[in-house]
Structure 1
Amino acid sequence: MGFRPSHIPLRLITGAFILNSGLGKTGLDEGTAGYLQSVAATAFPQAAQLEAGQFGKLLASSEIIVGSALLAPFIPSRLAGLGLLAFSAGMMTMYFRTPELTEKDGIRPTQDGIAVAKDSWMVAIALALVLDRKKK
């Protein structure tokens, strides 16, 4: 079996959330795409090498792919979890590398960082999907 029944709520809710976010980004205007790109470039300087529109499409596509993989029952949970882990680790890397998002201790979120810090739940869900093994 590709997943256990206990994985259904993890995959369904997380997948729907991420897919919806990605679909909402498919029509980003240049200004919004540029803003998101500048935030991402703080943590990942390579993002600045793209045009804002390209970055927006890449971000939307990434979210659509990860969300769809989580929702697709034929994708094994471990594989879907690995995709989610890569995506969420990127979000957390951006959180920790952007000084405006954390307090001086570098861990606790500022008011601006709360929205990104909340993505830590995706890391936990990804780890649950990757590490959960059926006992023999």
Structure 2
Amino acid sequence: MGFSPSHAILRLVTGAYLINSGVSKLSLDEERAAALQGMAANAIPQVKQIPAATFGKALAAGEIALGGALVLPIVPTKLAGLGLSAFGAGLVAVYVKTPGLTEADGIRPTQAGVAMAKDTWLAAIGIALVLNRKRRKVVKAVKSPKRS
């Protein structure tokens, strides 16, 4: 399996971004991990059952793993896209459900929500990778001359 040229840039740039984001979270202090966990709990209340430090490490590991899946050409594009779509959808849910991040319409970001609103792009890139369609070459049949 390899990258199709049309999706290589999507996978490489997004994967590198996620790897960097995950690596930066490996050294989260307890307070920052708890803040991220609190935001995540707005969309997925069950995360509150995990110790904050464990949540922070799991988030970091998940971002690094997903980023790696995106940059490695051995991972099929649709599979990498499914992972990115799920992760992006989770981030969008956090954005939409966290008070103060959206305007009254629930969609447009407030100043505080601009940083999280960009996560909609991750979800969109994931969907684009999932909807990847391989172009098939059309081979025209050549009629062989009749033999007499």
Deviation at 1:82, TM superposition (A): 0.4
Deviation at 1:27, TM superposition (A): 1.1
2:113 corresponds in structure 1 to 113
Greater C-alpha Rg:
2
8 Å CA contact 1:7–1:129 kept in 2: the answer is yes
8 Å CA contact 1:91–1:119 kept in 2: the answer is yes
Partner deviation per Cα, 1:76-120 (whole Å, 9 max, x = no partner): 111000000010000001111112110111010011111110111
Does residue 92 (structure 1) correspond to residue 73 (structure 2)? The answer is no
User: Which aligned pairs between 1:42-53 and structure 2 lie closer than 5 A?
Assistant: 42-53=42-53
1:63 corresponds in structure 2 to 63
Does residue 102 (structure 1) correspond to residue 98 (structure 2)? The answer is no
Aligned length: 136
Deviation at 1:65, TM superposition (A): 0.8
Report the TM-score, using the length of structure 1 for normalisation.
0.96
- Ranges of 4+ aligned residues in structure 1 off by more than 3 Å: none
CA distance in 1 between counterparts of 2:22 and 2:104 reads: 32
SS in 2 for 1:101: coil
1:132 corresponds in structure 2 to 132
Whichever residue aligns with residue 22 of structure 2, its letter is G
Whichever residue aligns with residue 26 of structure 1, its letter is L
Does residue 32 (structure 1) correspond to residue 32 (structure 2)? The answer is yes
1:82 corresponds in structure 2 to 82
SS in 2 for 1:109: coil
8 Å CA contact 1:99–1:106 kept in 2: the answer is no
CA distance in 2 between counterparts of 1:75 and 1:43 reads: 29
SS in 1 for 2:12: helix
Report the more deviating stretch, 83-92 or 124-133. 124-133
CA distance in 1 between counterparts of 2:38 and 2:99 reads: 14
Deviation at 1:2, TM superposition (A): 4.2
Whichever residue aligns with residue 116 of structure 2, its letter is V
- Give the gaps of 5 or more residues in structure 2: 137-148
Q: Percent identity?
A: 57
Report the TM-score, using the length of structure 2 for normalisation.
0.89
